[in-house]
Chains A and B, each alone.
Chain A
Amino acid sequence: MLRGQAVSEQTTITETPIGGARGSGHGCDHCSLPVPLGLVVEGRREQFCCHGCESAYRVIHGCGLDAYYRLREQAGDASNKPATIDDADRVSAFDTDKFHELYVRRRDDGLLTCDLMLEGVHCAACVWLVEKLPRVVPGVIEARLSLREAIVRVTWDPQQVALSKIARSLGTLGYRPHPARGGTKRTMHLAEQRTLLIRVGVAGAIAGNTMLLALALYAGMFGGIEREFENLFRWISAGLGVVALAWPGRVFFRGAWAAIRTRSPHLDLPIALALAVGGVAGLVNVVLGRGEIYFDSLTVLVFLLLVGRFIQYRQQRRADDAVELLFSLTPTSCRRVRRDDRGSEAIEQVPAEAVAVGDVLEVRAGELIPADGDIVSGRASVIASLITGESRPVAVDVGDAVCAGSQLADATVRLRVSAVGEDSRVGKLMALVQRGVADKPAIVALTDRVAGWFVVVVSSIALAVFAAWSVFDLGAAVDHTVALLIVACPCALGLATPLSLAVAIGRSAKRDILIKSGAVFDRLAKPGRLLLDKTGTLTRGAMRVEQWHGDPSIKPLVAEVERHATHPIARAIVSAFGGEELPADERQAIREVRVNGRGVTAQTRRGELLVGSRQYLAQFGVAVPKAYQSLAEQAAARACTPVFVVEAGRVVALASVGDAVHADAVASLRQLEQWGWSVTMLTGDERLVAEQVAGAVGLKPGAVSAGVTPEQKLTAAQQRGEAGPVVMVGDGVNDAAALAAADVGVAVSGGAEPSLAAADVYLARPGLSGLVELIASARRTRRVIRRNLAVSLAYNALAIGLAAAGLINPLVAAVLMPLSSALVLALAVGGQGLGRPVNQPTQGPAA
């Protein structure tokens, strides 16, 4: 659950002194990212995180352009403050039997290998550094890093070194390791990609060789050729052609057969028809030694179509894998309390999968609760927004039940596990997700619908042509009908659609929109119903200081005092004001900090400081003046919590803290409504909060459903209107089933793992502008596909006309076919660039 991860990292940030850069304490002089310890050069003024940065720095420095760095600092761009990685505690779980069973493989020679996903891998120098691991840790035999996936495959000797030691060393270098999950899916993808690549390669080789032979035959057609050699060439062409159709071309026949069996139109159908007719006619003519053979056109056709499919598959796989790998970042270990025979306690790290009912677990502030259970000691507040959609923390005490996947806001608790895996609340929601996927209606893509009609029309024309010509000459009738069926093959269409989709998926990925299936574009092009989750989708999903009234000079002091608390509101205040420097003497003067669930007190140089809620102030007998009372009421009206600051018994300031709406939400929703989408907000949160948020983004109260359970969200997503698709946008576990069941499910940045798994699209960038871009891109892609349809159908109409008139010979077909393909290709790739870019995101300065 990724949001939890982000928040828990924030906690470590607030606890470490600012400027404590990851690994070495040095910031890269070029990109200001932290320099891994292993790359620091002692005694040099400049330090770099990678070779690329160093080269760039040398160029910039050598040209006297150092002003660039000063300017960037002024722009506030160089504000990286990542935490040091001290993972000793977490990685000790890497040595447990359960972990080894799940992630480690034993090779035949007794060595062990494991795939670890690393955070912070960004360039060539990282590859260099990580692959030097055998030199850093004795006992490591080999480390191979894949730069794109940031996965390192480590091979080590279990006699000499433990995995936790290797993991800790990687952490020291600045790369936080996680076990790479989704391994089976990636292996499957890889196997599939290899099969596709083999098909492309074989088809390409055959097409090339057949074209060479065809060249000789065409030359012979004009210049004359001995009958003997013509026959040789024809036989060899036929042999190659049969191999091309039977091996790489088999996929089209298989696809066509599946389409016939399920009675759903598919583009493979007309393609297979042309290939089959062409193949049989060509073979017959070769055996009879007369007429045309079509193998040159057919082999090139197979090759080009496979290339298109391969490119589309690669793009799609990239997006899919990227989402899959995000799961690796979710916490996989937890603390189990074990009592031995003598009654003394020990805490051990175990993988989350090893937890059983009845175990006692310890969960600390900021961590995710790994299993359903009842609290046996400690009290804390729990944020269950990912499970229920409720945005405010709930207080829990001994005996209360908590759900897996919710996050502990403050304090440490112990809980006795009551349900794990499928029996837990999250597990039951996952079962709903599966049902949602199963109930998803199949939508036939535009191209396939056209293909369905295409087959019918072409077959009827072919019959008519055959009937018409057979009146004059039966032999000519067969020839012309065969020629017609071959030139009618929608080659351009079969190539252009996957390429248009691949281009669209690739461009979206560059804008942090990861699309798992090309069919999404087809479904999003027409407006329909848009269901939006509130917490985390419309809002940021985390508490933030919205407004500050009163003396601004006290802000850093308040932040310093709030550092001692871990409540989400305290954290919001620290992250808002913690950046301002507090003089060292004033910091040292802070004493006697006392924290409870409602506020904080401390002795400071300015006197006693109190930060907390109205009830907290009442405990201390502090009265709230009229002016601040009305400000507090205003804050409450905006769904914010008022936090008072009291100095020496007097209220001096008020912060209103709440879950803010994304800055781009209003503009994005307006754009979507302009395009004709009807927007509804679904939330598990209470009515009051829901309506306030709806008001803030300009939604009508009628378009809000509050207090919605995951089951009701699923039902809402399954209700199909008379027209248009149902699109669900959400981030939580409670949205996952609805995401799966909707025509298109969109998970937003920071979402929980089940929602990512269920969604078709993942917006990796916070805010709703990604959704607008996605839909804009869908509209553009649909336009391109339609234009390609028109062009290729026009070509086919022309070709069919020529064939019906008996004017097509193989040479004309061989020229026409690539010409139309090239035209449509140019339209598919170039055409999308002409579209108007929507909110082009600005990239950070090139590192």
Chain B
Amino acid sequence: MSVLYIVLPLALILAAIGVGAFLWAVRKGQYDDLDTPPVRMVFDDDDEVPR
């Protein structure tokens, strides 16, 4: 059971990394516009919509 002394802090460090990544993403503006990116990704690289 004493493995908990290693695993528990490790889990917390992993969680902290996750939170850190989230903070980075929010501060970079990744969550600012939630409407356009889902639309943008349906476009093919080629001219899928006829010009």
**Contact surface of A with B, Cβ cutoff 8 Å:** 38-39, 41, 51, 124-125, 127-129, 131, 145-148, 190, 193-194, 197-198, 201-202, 205, 209, 226, 229, 232, 236
Q: Which residues of A contact B5 (CB under 8 A)?
A: 232
Assess the A146–B33 pair: CB atoms within 8 A: yes
CA–CA, A190 and B34, complex, Å: 13
A33 to chain B, nearest CB (A): 16
- Interface centre among B4, B23, B36, by most chain A C-beta atoms within 10 angstroms, is B36
Decide yes or no: A197 and B31 within 8 Å by CB, A125-B49, A226-B1 being known contacts. Answer: yes
CA–CA, A147 and B35, complex, Å: 6
CA–CA, A51 and B29, complex, Å: 28
Assess the B36–A145 pair: CB atoms within 8 A: yes
Q: Which residues of B contact A131 (CB under 8 A)?
A: 40
Assess the B50–A127 pair: CB atoms within 8 A: no
Assess the B36–A128 pair: CB atoms within 8 A: no
CA–CA, A226 and B8, complex, Å: 16
CA–CA, A129 and B50, complex, Å: 10
Assess the A198–B26 pair: CB atoms within 8 A: yes
Assess the B8–A39 pair: CB atoms within 8 A: no
- How many A-B pairs have beta carbons closer than 8 Å: the answer is 66
Decide yes or no: A128 and B43 within 8 Å by CB, A38-B51, A209-B12, A232-B4 being known contacts. Answer: yes
B42 to chain A, nearest CB (A): 7
Assess the B35–A146 pair: CB atoms within 8 A: yes
B14 to chain A, nearest CB (A): 10
State which of A124, A148, A202 has its C-beta within 8 Å of the C-beta of B42: A124
CA–CA, A209 and B10, complex, Å: 13
Decide yes or no: A229 and B4 within 8 Å by CB, A147-B39, A198-B23, A205-B15 being known contacts. Answer: yes
State which of B11, B18, B22, B49 has its C-beta within 8 Å of the C-beta of A128: B49
Q: Which residues of A contact B39 (CB under 8 A)?
A: 124, 127, 147
Assess the A205–B19 pair: CB atoms within 8 A: yes
Assess the A194–B31 pair: CB atoms within 8 A: yes
CA–CA, A540 and B6, complex, Å: 73
User: 29 A-B residue contacts at CB 8 Å?
Assistant: A39-B50, A39-B51, A41-B51, A51-B48, A51-B49, A124-B42, A127-B40, A127-B43, A128-B43, A146-B35, A146-B36, A147-B33, A147-B36, A190-B29, A190-B32, A194-B26, A194-B31, A194-B32, A197-B26, A197-B31, A198-B22, A201-B19, A201-B22, A202-B23, A205-B19, A209-B12, A229-B4, A232-B5, A236-B12
CA–CA, A125 and B50, complex, Å: 10
CA–CA, A197 and B31, complex, Å: 9
Q: Which residues of A contact B27 (CB under 8 A)?
A: 194, 198
CA–CA, A145 and B33, complex, Å: 10
Please provide the 5 A-B residue pairs with the shortest distance between their CB atoms, ordered closest to farther: A124-B39, A148-B35, A147-B36, A147-B35, A201-B22
Q: Which residues of B contact A202 (CB under 8 A)?
A: 19, 23
Assess the A148–B36 pair: CB atoms within 8 A: yes
Assess the B49–A39 pair: CB atoms within 8 A: yes
A602 to chain B, nearest CB (A): 46
Q: Chain A: which residue is nearest B32 at the CB level?
A: A190
Q: Which residues of A contact B42 (CB under 8 A)?
A: 124
A214 to chain B, nearest CB (A): 14
Q: Which residues of A contact B29 (CB under 8 A)?
A: 190, 194
- Interface centre among A51, A128, A193, by most chain B C-beta atoms within 10 angstroms, is A128
CA–CA, A146 and B19, complex, Å: 27
Assess the B33–A148 pair: CB atoms within 8 A: yes
CA–CA, A148 and B32, complex, Å: 11
CA–CA, A147 and B43, complex, Å: 15
Q: Which residues of A contact B43 (CB under 8 A)?
A: 124, 127-128
B37 to chain A, nearest CB (A): 9
Decide yes or no: A201 and B26 within 8 Å by CB, A148-B35, A194-B31 being known contacts. Answer: yes
18 new A-B contacts, CB < 8 A, other than A193-B32, A194-B31, are: A39-B51, A127-B39, A127-B43, A128-B49, A145-B36, A147-B33, A147-B35, A147-B36, A197-B31, A198-B22, A198-B23, A198-B26, A201-B22, A205-B18, A209-B11, A209-B15, A232-B8, A236-B8
CA–CA, A29 and B26, complex, Å: 41
CA–CA, A226 and B4, complex, Å: 12
Assess the B50–A41 pair: CB atoms within 8 A: yes
Q: Which residues of B contact A190 (CB under 8 A)?
A: 29, 32
B38 to chain A, nearest CB (A): 9
B23 to chain A, nearest CB (A): 6
A392 to chain B, nearest CB (A): 44
Q: Which residues of A contact B32 (CB under 8 A)?
A: 190, 193-194
CA–CA, A201 and B21, complex, Å: 11
Q: Which residues of A contact B40 (CB under 8 A)?
A: 127, 131
A196 to chain B, nearest CB (A): 10
A314 to chain B, nearest CB (A): 10
Q: Which residues of A contact B36 (CB under 8 A)?
A: 127, 145-148
Q: Which residues of A contact B15 (CB under 8 A)?
A: 205, 209
Q: Which residues of B contact A148 (CB under 8 A)?
A: 33, 35-36
Q: Which residues of B contact A205 (CB under 8 A)?
A: 15, 18-19, 22
CA–CA, A339 and B11, complex, Å: 76
CA–CA, A128 and B44, complex, Å: 10
Q: Which residues of B contact A127 (CB under 8 A)?
A: 36, 39-40, 43
Q: Chain B: which residue is nearest A190 at the CB level?
A: B32
State which of A39, A201, A229 has its C-beta within 8 Å of the C-beta of B23: A201
Q: Chain B: which residue is nearest A126 at the CB level?
A: B39
CA–CA, A146 and B29, complex, Å: 13
CA–CA, A125 and B43, complex, Å: 9
CA–CA, A226 and B1, complex, Å: 10
CA–CA, A249 and B14, complex, Å: 22
